[in-house]
Amino acid sequence: MGTPPHRLDSIAICSDTTVNSLAFSYSDHQGWMHCVGPWGRQSGVHQMIQLGPSEILTEVSGTFGQFSSDVVTSLTLVTNAKSYGPFGQEKGTPFHTPAQGNGSIVGFYGRAAWFLDAMGLYVSPEQKQMNVVE
């Protein structure tokens, strides 16, 4: 990821018995959109999460366990508006990663072969929630 993320726009997940792949798009500080990933193979059920204009990702949780190797077996994404998932099957060791304080999750990084083996988060220290005027 060459340009630092400002706001997470969308998340694409492919899953079945595990999380097979993860990709996302974000906007930078100038408003340009960037697409990152996928990590893993794009097979199984394809889900696209498009975040609303004032929606921010505040928490990622899930499970990891043995499949053909250690992989992410499920993911749940929580925003300030709703929860998405779980994607995959909730088997294995649970993990729970909230953004601390007033922060928001603005991106991901990962390692994968056939499945998503590991992932990490990019967190902005301040929420990038935008006020929407109707």
Residues of the chain predicted below pLDDT 50:
129-134
- Give the count of beta carbons closer than 10 Å to the beta carbon of residue 66: 11
88 and 15 Cβ atoms separated by less than 8 Å: yes
Q: What was the pLDDT predicted at 9?
A: 97
**φ/ψ (deg, to 5) at 28:** -90, -175
Report d(CA 55, CA 60) in Å as an integer: 15
Q: Residue 25: its pLDDT value, please? A: 97
d(CA 69, CA 117): 8
Determine how many CB atoms are found less than 10 A away from the CB of residue 113: 12
Give this prediction's pTM: 0.89
